Amino acid sequence: MPKIWLGLGSNSGDSLNIFRGAKERLCATLSGCAFSSIWRSRARYYEDQPDFFNMAVSGFSDMSPQDLLEEIHVIEKDFGRDRQKEIYKGPRPLDIDILLYDSKIIAETNLIVPHPGLAERKFALLPLLELDFDLVHPGLGIALKKLAASLPPQGIYPLEDYQYDEFYTE
């Protein structure tokens, strides 16, 4: 059965409660669920919005990548996401990305795996590494920990003790 790694993000509504419900729904979809801790990160790309909460989930499923994507979209919608009304890369109650699907490379019109932004996003890499520290990017052949270490600070910290990068610069 393929192992799947998902990234979750939320910065609209009661994000922590949304994560609790999403975890429950995802465990009904995936077997052997494991969860990272929750991280807090600055918004990227579209910066005029609240900070995000992020986490990663891993588990196993016999679902095809397309069927999994459809299920993820249902879960997002059930927690208030309306893709038709949202600002691109803007605030959303729940965003679930398929980061990795086993070691497959998928390039379809509506689904690219590994997630195309994975190699540049600490908010995806750090929670993912918390679950599986030795993962390798299937497309690049580079360890995810090396990718994360090569990136500049991006304002992501564990929720319990976050402090942004400017507090560590001179």
CATH at residue 38: 3.30.70.560
Report the C-alpha gap between 136 and 50 in whole angstroms.
31
Domain, as residue range, for 154: 3-168
What number of residues does the chain have? 170
Q: What is the CA radius of gyration of the chain?
A: 15
| Alpha helix positions (H), the chain | 15-29, 65-78, 122-131, 144-150
Angle at 147 between CA 122 and CA 16, to 5 degrees: 20
Question: How far is the C-alpha of 102 from the C-alpha of 105, rounded, in Å?
Answer: 9
Dist CA 24 CA 49 (whole Å) = 27
Nearest Cα neighbor of 37 from 60, 57, 59 is 57
pLDDT of residue 159: 82
pLDDT for res 106: 96
Please tell me the predicted confidence (pLDDT) of residue 169. 39
Residues of the chain with pLDDT under 70: 161-170
pLDDT of residue 161: 59
pLDDT computed for residue 89 by the predictor: 87
The 10s digit of each residue's pLDDT in 92-121 is: 999 999 999 999 999 999 999 999 999 999
Token pair in block for residue 6:
């998902």
Tell me how many domains the chain contains: 1
